[in-house]
Amino acid sequence: MNVEVTPLPGIGVRKDFELASGRRIGVVTHRDGTVDLIVSKRDDPDACAAQVPLSNEEAAVLGNLLGAPQLVSQLQEEHRDLPGISTRQMPILEGSPFDGRTLGETAMRTRTKVSIVAAMRAGQVHPSPGPDFTFTAGDLLVVVGTSEGLDAAAKILHHG
């Protein structure tokens, strides 16, 4: 995909790309740091059909929603020929006992034999987080292991 970057003098920067339908979708990052999700009109790529202002937290959640499934899909494809190995997304929810605590404090691998292979935060992928990686509510973890191990990991992240 070709992402076009367009400076908007006095406003910020527009980054967008063309969909198969001919519409353009993207974001406008304003000089003050705010972000708008934009969708062009079908017949005029310079005119907006929809503009949705997003807070930083909302933009981060949207980035996680869009980025994590691609990573999980790729990992599932790579593990396709390994029977018994699955990949799952697991959120760190508000109120999780591990919100604000490190990966090492979960003892996840020791307790469940699963591996946290990535953490998505604010639209950024943190691959292979180490034991000192501190979880934050809103993180989306990509976890690999057996079905039983993944179920146990989900319980740990939700209940401690």
72 — pLDDT class (breaks 50, 70, 90): low
Instruction: Give the mean pLDDT of 96-125.
Output: 89
Find the mean pLDDT for residues 82-104: 87
Tokens 């490190």 locate to 102
Q: Say which CATH architecture domain 4-78 belongs to.
A: Roll (3.10)
What is the per-residue pLDDT for 107? 93
Residue holding tokens 């198969």?
20
- Residue burial 69-90, b: 16+ Cβ < 10 Å; e: rest: eebbeebeeeeeeeeebbbbbb
Parts of the chain belonging to CATH 3.10.450? 4-78
Q: Does domain 85-159 have CATH number 3.30.70.1450?
A: yes
Q: Is the pLDDT of residue 68 over 70?
A: no
pLDDT reported for residue 77 = 67
Task: Indicate if the pLDDT at residue 119 is higher than 70.
Answer: yes
Rounded to two decimals, what is the model's pTM? 0.56
- The pLDDT-based confidence of 150 (bands split at 50, 70, 90) is very high
Portions of the chain given CATH number 3.30.70.1450:
85-159
pLDDT > 70? residue 103: yes
In this predicted structure, what is the pLDDT of residue 46? Answer: 79
Question: What is the pLDDT, as a whole number, of residue 69?
Answer: 61
